Amino acid sequence: MRETVAQFRPDLLQLATELVGTDPFARVDEGTRFAQPAIYGAALAGWERLGGHDADWAAGHSLGEVAALAAAGALDHHDGLRLAVRRGEVMQAAAERGAGGMLAILGEREAALELAHDHGLTVANDNAPEQLVVAGPEDDLEAARKAGRRAGLRAVKLPVAGAFHSPEMDAAVPAFREALAEVEFGEPRIPVLSCATAREFTSPRSELADAIVRPVRWRQTVRALRERGVERYIETGPGDVLRKLVDRNLDQEVAAHA
């Protein structure tokens, strides 16, 4: 990630280092405080590498919403980085006060939902028809993981130190609202879908704040893009996780109408 940002958006690398107090890429595995500004910078550097290609629509997964709004021109890129830094800080602090985590459940959807309900877990990411991510206390996650295995589901503990996109993040919301109040939002050049609502942003300040404790509805977001005629999807951030999730959602959509 760092090489891409250094080449295409050195200004973001310099500002991120100043805001965080250290190079966030060097400590990206130490927590979301460092990971969020690094990922934001990498997403916009990837956008720049494409030549700032104007898409017809934009969307982002979790933090990716901030990068999507910036790429679409609704938010100054440096202000977006400031939001990513602050978001990472307040979510890290909330995570450290709790004792929660996240678990990916792969397999039949209804069985996964039942497993989450039985163990009092929150659906944090609805990523694809056969991929849910749930959040909650560590003991409940471990119990769900073992029960899921017995039920024929694949349940994988995620390497994150917090129950993100769940009520455990409530404490992070007020401080992030304050940060959002300090930046200007304008009209985007292209429409941006919120992954928390699967609809176009209408009030980014309130919607981005609310999204911290709301589930990421990526399955519904991809479906909404498809319904709007989107046929080609480009992931600008690091890795190919979202591309694979788009493939899974669209394969399911095609199968449903075959």
The per-residue b/e assignment along 120-142, b for 16 or more CB within 10 angstroms, e otherwise, is ebbbbbbbbbbbbbbbbbeebbe
Q: Exposed (0-12), middle (13-18) or buried (19+): which is 36, by Cβ within 10 Å?
A: buried
Tokens of 15: 């500002």
Residue 165 is among the residues annotated as catalytic for this protein: yes
Instruction: Provide the β-strand partners of residue 155.
Output: 105
Residue 78 is among the residues annotated as catalytic for this protein: no
Report whether 104 contacts 133 (CB < 8 A).
Answer: yes
For 176, the enclosing helix (H) or strand (E) is: helix 173-181
Q: Which of 61, 77, 119, 165 is catalytic?
A: 165
Q: Which of 62, 119, 166, 194 is catalytic?
A: 62
Integer Cα distance of 229 and 241 in angstroms: 22
- Altogether, the residues listed in the chain come to a count of 258
Report whether 7 contacts 45 (CB < 8 A).
Answer: yes
Catalytic positions, written as ranges = 62, 165
